[in-house]
Structure 1
C-alpha cells in the first residue's frame, strides 16, 4: 500500500460502495456475489471487506423488498453501512402525517406526481404492512452522510457548511421525526440540509422552458454538479443524462446562480455519490469523486467501486452488473428467503 493510502483497521481490506439499487434486488444479489460476498445465515458477508450503500434502495424496480431486505440485514449484522437517499427521505415524509400544519395531511403531499414515484414500492409491500412499517423505522435510522478514515459518502452533494450544521445538531448525521417535519417547511435549515445532501443542486430553467425527462417526468430545473472550480456557463455544471434544450448550455451563470453552487476541490478526501442517473461505462468525473448511479432500473448498470484506501481514485476499480431487460432473464433471488 502506498504511503498516501489510508490503512484499514484490523483485517478490513476496504469498502465496496454500491450505487442506487432502486428495487433491482436480484441484480444486487448477483453484484454482491461477483464482489466475493456470500450469503450465510441470511446475510451477505465478505471475510475482509464491507459494503457501503449510497441510498435509493426503493422505488421503480421489480424487487424492492428484496433490495431492502439484503441491505438492511447486512447493515444490522455489521457487514455494511448506508446513507439515506432522496427516495428513502421521500417515503418517510409521504408516510408521516403532518399534525399542526394547516391544509396538509401528510409531510409529503399525496399528489399524482408523488403517488407515481412511490407506487411500485407501496404495491410490493401491500401484502406486507408490518414489514413496510419496519422498513420505514429503519429508514429513519439511516445517516444522511458518512465520513470515515479517508473517504466521504453522501447520496447527492457534500456541502461542507450544511454538513457541519447537521452534525452540530445530529453528530452521527441521523435525523429524527422533528427534523423530518421541519424539512418540509420551505426555507428552513432542515429543508436546506435534506434537499442539498439527498437531492443535490438544482438550477431553474427559464420561464416556459421544460425538459421531458427520460423517466417520463416534466422537469423545470436541471441538476448541477459541485466540482467546477470557476464555472461560467450552465454547460460547465450540468450533470444529468437529459440535455438542456436549444443552446442553453452556453447560458451564463448569474451571480445568484453561482451563489447556489458549492465546490468540492481535488485536495479533499475521496467522495462517493449516487443520484445522478449516469449512463454508459462508469467513469470518474474527477480524481477524487465517483458517482455510482448508472441507471440500473433503466436497464443500465448496478455499479460498485472497490475502495482500498487510495486517495486518488482509479476507474479500474469499478465493478458492475448489467440489469437484463426481460423479466424472465433477471437473476433469481435465491439468496434470501423472505418469508
Structure 2
C-alpha cells in the first residue's frame, strides 16, 4: 500500500474495545471530531489491528475506527482477533475435518464472547463489520517503514504479495487457512500470531487468563540467543529453571531474523508492560495491555528512519473504561 511520504502518521496499538481511552489518546495527539469523524489536518492514524474482543466498548471502538478509515483519516490492518471473528463465520473447505475455519469450541468462544455479547442487539451491524474485516490488509509496506500485527516474515510476505499485492486477501484464502500447514494457514499464523517455540520436556504454562499452552511466543530478531530466556517474548515469564536452559541448535536455526538493516517495523499483539520504548532502533511493539488497565500507545512517525524514544505517546487506561 502506498502512503503519502510527506504526511505524518500516528501508529496505534491494540485497542480491544477501549473506545473511551482511544478518544483520549486521539485528543492528546491533536485529533478533533468533525462531522462524526476524528480527524487531524496533517496526519493519519495507522491502526495495528485487534480493535475487537475483551473490552467494554467494542462496538463503539469499531465504529470510531471504521469511520476514520472510510473518511481517509486512518488505515487499519487485520489483527488475529479480527481473523478469529472471520474464521468463526467462514466455512472450512469441503472435506475438512472441521465445519468452520475457527472451530466452535468453548475455548474459542470465550475469546469472542464479549464481542458477541455487545452485538447481540445489533446483528446487521456485526455483518457489516465482518465484511469490513475481510477487506483489511494483513500488512502495510510503506518503504521506509512497515506494519504487521505480530511478525514480519520476509519470505511469506513476498509470496503473499505475488497473489495479493496490497495484502488484502479474499474469503477463499481465509477458508483455505483451515487446512493446517497450508500456505494460507502459515500466513495467518505467522503474520497475525507471530513465532513460537515448544516448551522443553513436555512442560506447559497457564496464562493470566487461564489458558494452558505447551508453546511460548518468541522474538523474531534475536541475533545470538543462548538460552530459552533469551528468546521469550510474552507477558508470562518462563520458569527460571526453563529460562536458563541452553537453547538447542535446532531451535536456534528455526528462529527468524529481522535485521537491523531492515526498515522500521511496528507490531502490536504482545501485551507489553512498563513505559513504551523501542525494542531496537528499527522495531517497536505498540501493544501495552490497554484492556488490562495498561497503556494505549501511539508512535508519532514523521520523516525519521530510526525510532526516537521521545515520540511514543500514551494514555493510561482508567477504570472509567468499564461497561455502561
Whether these two folds match at TM > 0.5 is yes
Matches within 5 A, 1:49-60: 49-60=43-54
Over aligned residue pairs, what C-alpha RMSD do you find? 1.7
- Partner SS for 2:313: strand
Distance 1:57 1:322 in 2: 17
Contact (CA 8 Å) 1:299, 1:323: kept in 2 or not?
yes
8 Å CA contact retained: 1:152, 1:271: yes
3-state DSSP of counterpart to 1:247: helix
Query: Taking structure 1 as the reference length, what is the TM-score of the superposition?
Result: 0.91
- In 2, distance between residues paired with 1:208 and 1:261? 20
* Corresponding residue of 1:330: 321
Contact persistence 1:211–1:245 (CA under 8 A): no
The answer as to 2:204 corresponding to 1:213 is no
Cα separation, 2, equivalents of 1:99 and 1:286: 41
Unaligned 5+ runs, structure 2: none
In structure 1, distance between residues paired with 2:86 and 2:159: 22
Q: 1:266 to 1:122 in 2, by over 3 A?
A: same
> Contact 1:201 / 1:260 at 8 angstroms: preserved in 2?
no
Does the CA-based 8 Å contact 1:150-1:309 persist in structure 2?
no
CA distance in 1, matches of 2:85, 2:312: 29
Q: How does 1:94-133 map onto structure 2 within 5 Å?
A: 94-98=88-92, 100-133=94-127
Count of residues in correspondence between the two structures: 322
Do the aligned residues in 1 keep the contact of 2:100 with 2:178 (CA within 8 Å)?
no
Structure 1 residues 197 and 99: CA distance shift in structure 2, 3 A: closer
Native 8 Å contact 1:8 1:309 kept in 2: no
2:177 pairs with 1:183: yes
Consecutive unaligned residues in structure 1, runs of 5 or more: 1-6, 334-339
Structure 2 partner of 1:269: 263
Q: Does 1:252 align with 2:246?
A: yes
Work out the CA distance in 2 between the residues paired with 1:21 and 1:215: 18
Q: 2:12 aligns to what? A: 18
Superposed CA offset, 1:118-152 (max 9, x none): 00000001110000000000001000000114110
Q: 2:70 aligns with which of 54, 72, 76?
A: 76
